Amino acid sequence: MKIAIQVMVPPYTYQDLDTAIHIAEAALKRGHEVTIFLFADSVLSINSKVKPIRTDRNIPEKMKELAAKGVRIEICGICMDYRGVTEDMIVEGSRPSGLPELASLFANCDRFISLMA
Amino acid sequence: MALILVKYGVDNPAERVKLEIANENDKVVLIQNGVFFAVVEDVTKLTKAEVYALKNDLEARGFCTADVKNVKLIDYDGLVELIEKEEKFIG
């Protein structure tokens, strides 16, 4: 099954990115194809310059690990521009994307999980 | 029918509307602060839908199985199972 998860809120301030990561991991284990679409403030979650304290989880690092496991991580390019996140800052495996790609996700995925703001 | 995710707490009016409009064939999953609905209220009075709560988020807030009633506790695997079964989604 193709499962897409859309996130909108910033990491650490809210739990949605953790929720999305856990759902993606469980879905991968069950053999599904997973895409995470990062919209609005959630684009901060792929900023490789984020440096949490050692005892806390490193969300960008987790996103990188997910990408390495085959999860597609698409980032709204305009949302990146609005937040000063440039392509050289994003974690390996994630890719700048946009609304046309989001529209095609709607059309092509079997399940669309929107974690609304 | 539909999978309805409730993630905000008991003071969120939109979440109450989602619970109210859900019907018998829908599945509600309480995640994040949504788990408080199962702790402080009787969910059977709030919704006609079958209600599940994410055990991970319940325990992350210091509650356990004994603190909730009328909900089925699931893990992320169980949540993905519901995502597979329910074609429609309301977030």
Chain B residues whose CB is inside 8 A of the A15 CB are 7, 32, 57
Give Cα separations from A43 to A66, A78, B49 (angstroms). 15, 10, 34
Note the pLDDT of residue A21: 98
Asked if the model's pLDDT at residue A25 lies above 90, the reply is: yes
pLDDT above 90 as % of chain B: 97
Q: What distance in Å separates the CA atoms of residue B84 and residue B91, rounded to the nearest whole number?
A: 16
The pLDDT of residue A69 is: 98
d(CA A55, CA A18): 16
Give per-residue pLDDT as tens, A53-93.
Answer: 999 999 999 999 999 999 999 999 999 999 999 999 999 99
Choose the closest CB to A26 out of B77, B89, B91: B77
Say if B38 is an interface residue toward chain A (CB within 8 Å): no
- pTM greater than 0.85: yes
DSSP sequence for A62-99? HHHHHHHTT-EEEEEHHHHHHTT--GGGBPTTEEEE-H
Mean pLDDT of chain A: 97
Instruction: For chain A, say whether B31 makes contact (Cβ under 8 Å).
Output: yes
In the block, which residue shows the tokens 């356990």? B64
Minimum Cα–Cα distance from B54: chain A residue: A19
pLDDT computed for residue A117 by the predictor = 86
pLDDT at A109: 97
What would the pLDDT profile of B13-41 be if each residue is shown by its tens digit?
999 999 999 999 999 999 999 999 999 99
- Position A7 confidence tier, pLDDT thresholds 50, 70, 90: very high
Closest partner CB to B76 (pick from A1, A22, A32): A22
Cβ neighbours of residue A8 closer than 8 Å, sequence gap 6 or more? A16, A39, A40, A41, A42, A115, A116, A117
Percent of the residues in chain A that have a pLDDT greater than 70, as a whole number = 100
DSSP B27-78: EEEE-GGGGHHHHHS-GGGT-SSEEEEEHHHHHHTT--GGG--S-EEE-HHH
Contact indicator for A59, A17 with CB cutoff of 8 Å: yes
- Is A111 in a helix, a strand, or coil? strand
Residue whose structure tokens are 């006609």: B48
